[in-house]
Amino acid sequence: MAQVTMTVNGKAATGDIEGRTLLSAFLRETLNLTGTHVGCDTSQCGACVVHVDGEAVKACTILAAEAAGTEVTTIEGMANADGSLNVIQQAFQDHHGLQCGFCTPGMVMSAAALLKENPKPSEAEVRDYLEGNICRCTGYHNIVKAIMAASGQDVAAVAAE
């Protein structure tokens, strides 16, 4: 076992882990931040996306030890300071961008990373960026709509699936 420390959602977080512990497991099992979902553990589904030093990362693809000293943001850190949903989360709600919700934390984290680097993405750019995020429920249409809406763009023209 070794001790690892990182900043998670703005607070210092320390835990004793085995060397093989994935960041996703550290977040969920050590820190009890279960909003980061694990759908595959093989970097396929994107349910585990978090931000590490501002970059979207699949938390099942790196070791917790590799994230030592970084700033990690999870879905639990995404709400506004007053606890209300942020603009992306609200858009997912308004545009029915979720059904079971399993993929949603990863979708929101990926969307946030996309909008940070490309504040007004085209529909094609949104679809392209979400290639690593799998949703088994929605058919993606409303997720794309939600992200377009969160970027302040008209969603009426978003093509049906």
- The residues that touch ligand FES, with contacts defined as CB under 6 A, are 38-41, 43-48, 58, 60, 98-104, 135-138
Least distance CB 153 / ligand FES (angstroms): 22
Least distance CB 67 / ligand FES (angstroms): 14
Q: Are 66 and 2 in contact (CB under 8 A)?
A: no
Q: Which is nearer to ligand FES, 14 or 44 (by Cβ)? A: 44
Q: Are 12 and 73 in contact (CB under 8 A)?
A: no
**Residues contacting residue 122 through CB under 8 Å, at least 6 positions apart:** none
HEC secondary structure over 38-56: CCCCCCCCCCCEEEECCEE
Q: Are 125 and 113 in contact (CB under 8 A)?
A: no
Least distance CB 96 / ligand FES (angstroms): 10
Q: Which is nearer to ligand FES, 48 or 115 (by Cβ)? A: 48
Q: Which is nearer to ligand FES, 35 or 39 (by Cβ)? A: 39
